[in-house]
Amino acid sequence: MSQGDQDKSEKPTPYRLEEARKKGEVAKSQEVTGVIVMVAFAALIALGAADAARAFAGATRGMIGLAGSGPALNGGFVSLAGALYAPVGQALLPLVLGLIIAAVLGNVLQTGPMITTHPLKPDFKRLNPMQVVRRIFSMRTVWELGKMLVKLGALAGLCAMFVWKARGLAEAAVQTLPQRMGGLMLSAFIKASIYVLMVLALAALVDLLFTRREFMKKMRMSRRELKDEVKRRDGDPQVKSKQKQAIHDLLKKTRAVGQVKDADVVLTNPTHVAVALRYRPGKTMAPVVLAKGAGFLCTHIKREAARHGVPIMRVPPLARALYRECEIDGLVPEAQYAELGPIYRELWARNGVPA
């Protein structure tokens, strides 16, 4: 194989990308999914934190009220505790469902709906030590390490900024009425979430671009692979050429059946092949094959001959030879004159034509 065949210099075809998709191989960034989940988490916490806090406070008050009666730690106590904290679960249920939906949405937005079981099949190539070494020292590993360090640095910077401003938040909390403390904490949570999500969203965007670039690079094809794909999809050119020729021959034979009415005689096998001949002395050098056919075409030729009163003669060896050696609209070869001569003399005698 030449070096040109080895080089993957061609862009992947839509067919190759579709085949990779069927195997679950798509460009997908987990960072994007993680950011979408965190956005959903922050939004749901901001919207439902008050209800969850009230439900938890009410359940806690109920548990404190039970402490004075000294209930026995048995099944009844467990049922009572479950009843007390049931509102907490109901308040947190939207959060859990929202995170599940966000995780699914984060993948669907990148890849579209995709269901495949191919990744579940065991791949023993992954156990190859050389494959493990390649993955460890691959560009993807270096990228993941660098991305993690940059994210940690950016988040550390945000933490330092929050710590620097924590004193102001503490002073504001001291001066705030208790009933307004929740609003103050919620405002601080929203501001912190916005800064954190901005950093993570930027990292996710860069990771998505890198992932798509690496995926398209992985999917690139050599010229040999392009040729092989064309053969797989459209078939071998030689096979296609033979198929086209066979179809052309069949159509030609089918159209030639319409010329049977002008034939002098139809020679048959008698049931397998049929050949219709016409000879016009002075106009053609030898008899011409107007139509020929085997199987259903043989039956059709004989039916047309009978309908138009064309003689049908059973001459198996000659019929097979003419079917094999002659083309439609072609002349009968000289080697067959000896066998064909008596047939035409008989035809002319029937019609009163001098031989």
The string of pLDDT tens digits covering residues 7-18 is: 777 888 888 888
Most confident of 60-64, 152-156, 159-163, 332-336: 332-336
pLDDT above 50 for 100: yes
Helix or strand run (H / E) with residue 229? helix 223-234
147 pLDDT tier (thresholds 50, 70, 90): confident
pLDDT above 70 for 278: yes
Predicted TM-score (pTM) of the model is 0.52
230, 249, 265: which is the final residue of a domain?
230
Whether 1 is in a domain gets the answer no
pLDDT above 80 for 134: no
97 pLDDT tier (thresholds 50, 70, 90): very high
Query: What does the chain come to in residues?
Result: 355
Q: How many CB atoms lie within 10 A of CB 44?
A: 19
What is the rounded CA–CA span in Å between residue 211 and residue 144? 11
- The pLDDT assigned to 3 comes to 45
CA-closest candidate to residue 111, choices 201, 27, 32, 33: 27
Give the residue carrying structure tokens 């047939």: 343
pLDDT above 60 for 143: yes
Both 109 and 44 in one domain: the answer is yes
Decide which of 167 and 306 is more confident: 306
DSSP 101-143: HHHHHHHHHHH-S----GGGS--GGGG-HHHHHHHHTSHHHHH
Both 220 and 259 in one domain: the answer is no
Whether 88 is in a domain gets the answer yes
Both 117 and 86 in one domain: the answer is yes
Whether 2 is in a domain gets the answer no
What is the rounded CA–CA span in Å between residue 3 and residue 105? 43
- The pLDDT assigned to 5 comes to 42
Both 203 and 266 in one domain: the answer is no
Kindly report which listed range (13-22, 160-169, 307-316) carries the lowest average pLDDT score.
Answer: 160-169
- Cβ–Cβ < 8 Å for 215, 27: yes
- The pLDDT assigned to 267 comes to 92
Both 347 and 291 in one domain: the answer is yes
Mean pLDDT of 68-81: 70
What average pLDDT does the chain have?
Answer: 81
Count of structural domains within the chain: 2
What is the rounded CA–CA span in Å between residue 278 and residue 286? 9
- The pLDDT assigned to 133 comes to 64
| Percent of the chain residues past pLDDT 90, beyond the cut | 7
Question: What 8-state DSSP symbol labels residue 289?
Answer: E
Angle between helices 75-111 and 30-67 (to 10 degrees): 170
Mean pLDDT of 223-251: 73
Both 77 and 187 in one domain: the answer is yes
Phi-psi region at 327: left, alpha or beta (left = phi > 0; alpha = psi -120 to 50): beta
CA-closest candidate to residue 49, choices 238, 246, 166, 190: 190
Both 222 and 250 in one domain: the answer is no
Both 15 and 144 in one domain: the answer is yes
Tokens read off for 21:
């998709």
Paired with 266 in beta bridges are 276, 312
What is the residue range of 254's domain?
Answer: 241-351
Whether 4 is in a domain gets the answer no
pLDDT above 80 for 324: yes
277 pLDDT tier (thresholds 50, 70, 90): very high
Mean pLDDT of 81-110: 87
